[in-house]
Protein backbone atom coordinates (compact mmCIF):
# COMPACT_ATOMS: atom_id res chain seq x y z
CA UNK A 1 0.00 0.00 0.00
CA UNK A 2 1.14 3.56 -0.66
CA UNK A 3 1.15 6.51 1.71
CA UNK A 4 2.05 10.13 0.93
CA UNK A 5 4.32 11.83 3.47
CA UNK A 6 5.03 15.55 3.38
CA UNK A 7 7.55 17.41 5.50
CA UNK A 8 7.50 21.16 6.14
CA UNK A 9 9.98 23.92 7.02
CA UNK A 10 13.22 22.58 8.56
CA UNK A 11 12.07 18.97 8.21
CA UNK A 12 11.61 19.53 4.46
CA UNK A 13 15.22 20.71 4.17
CA UNK A 14 16.43 17.53 5.85
CA UNK A 15 14.08 14.90 4.45
CA UNK A 16 12.47 16.17 1.26
CA UNK A 17 9.18 17.75 0.36
CA UNK A 18 6.78 14.98 -0.64
CA UNK A 19 7.38 11.25 -0.70
CA UNK A 20 5.19 8.37 -1.76
CA UNK A 21 6.18 5.43 0.43
CA UNK A 22 5.19 1.81 0.03
CA UNK A 23 4.53 0.35 3.47
CA UNK A 24 3.56 -3.03 4.84
CA UNK A 25 0.19 -3.75 6.43
CA UNK A 26 -0.03 -2.84 10.14
CA UNK A 27 2.66 -0.14 9.88
CA UNK A 28 2.22 2.43 12.63
CA UNK A 29 2.56 6.14 12.08
CA UNK A 30 5.85 6.39 14.05
CA UNK A 31 7.28 3.39 12.17
CA UNK A 32 6.42 5.03 8.86
CA UNK A 33 8.25 8.24 9.75
CA UNK A 34 11.18 6.28 11.22
CA UNK A 35 11.47 4.34 7.95
CA UNK A 36 12.03 7.64 6.15
CA UNK A 37 14.28 9.30 8.74
CA UNK A 38 16.67 6.34 9.00
CA UNK A 39 18.42 7.74 5.94
CA UNK A 40 19.13 11.11 7.60
CA UNK A 41 20.35 11.07 11.19
CA UNK A 42 19.89 14.82 11.63
CA UNK A 43 16.30 14.55 10.41
CA UNK A 44 15.69 11.58 12.70
CA UNK A 45 17.07 13.41 15.73
CA UNK A 46 14.98 16.48 14.93
CA UNK A 47 11.76 14.45 14.94
CA UNK A 48 12.40 11.67 17.47
CA UNK A 49 13.85 11.70 20.98
CA UNK A 50 16.41 9.22 22.32
CA UNK A 51 13.60 6.75 23.15
CA UNK A 52 12.21 6.73 19.61
CA UNK A 53 9.15 8.82 20.44
CA UNK A 54 8.06 11.89 18.53
CA UNK A 55 9.51 14.98 20.15
CA UNK A 56 6.82 16.94 22.01
CA UNK A 57 7.03 19.90 19.62
CA UNK A 58 6.47 17.86 16.44
CA UNK A 59 3.08 18.26 14.79
CA UNK A 60 1.80 15.24 12.86
CA UNK A 61 -1.33 15.34 10.72
CA UNK A 62 -3.06 12.34 9.18
CA UNK A 63 -5.54 13.13 6.43
CA UNK A 64 -5.72 16.77 7.59
CA UNK A 65 -6.42 15.85 11.23
CA UNK A 66 -3.91 16.41 14.00
CA UNK A 67 -2.64 13.25 15.67
CA UNK A 68 -2.27 13.18 19.45
CA UNK A 69 1.37 12.16 19.83
CA UNK A 70 0.57 10.11 22.94
CA UNK A 71 -1.60 7.88 20.72
CA UNK A 72 0.56 7.96 17.59
CA UNK A 73 1.88 4.42 18.14
CA UNK A 74 -1.68 3.10 17.92
CA UNK A 75 -2.31 4.77 14.55
CA UNK A 76 -2.03 2.19 11.76
CA UNK A 77 -1.57 3.85 8.39
CA UNK A 78 -3.89 2.91 5.54
CA UNK A 79 -3.51 2.90 1.78
CA UNK A 80 -3.81 6.44 0.44
CA UNK A 81 -3.19 8.21 3.75
CA UNK A 82 -1.72 11.70 3.57
CA UNK A 83 0.72 12.31 6.42
CA UNK A 84 2.16 15.77 7.16
CA UNK A 85 4.98 16.42 9.64
CA UNK A 86 5.66 19.95 10.91
CA UNK A 87 8.20 21.46 13.27
CA UNK A 88 6.89 24.01 15.80
CA UNK A 89 5.29 26.98 14.13
CA UNK A 90 6.22 30.52 15.08
CA UNK A 91 5.88 33.90 13.55
CA UNK A 92 3.56 36.78 13.46
Give this prediction's pTM.
0.91
Largest CA distance in the chain: 41
Assigned CATH topology for domain 2-79 = Ubiquitin-like (UB roll) (3.10.20)
Among the residues of the chain, which ranges form H helices? 10-15, 29-37, 41-47
Q: State the pLDDT confidence band at 92, using cuts at 50, 70 and 90.
A: low
Q: Give pLDDT tens digits for 16-75.
A: 999 999 999 999 999 999 999 998 999 999 999 999 999 999 999 999 999 999 999 999
Residue 85 has pLDDT above 90, yes or no: yes
Which pLDDT score, from 0 to 100, does residue 12 have? Answer: 94
Amino acid sequence: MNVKVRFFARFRELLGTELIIEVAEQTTLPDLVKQITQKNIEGHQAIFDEYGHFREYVIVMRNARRVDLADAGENIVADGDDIAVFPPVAGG
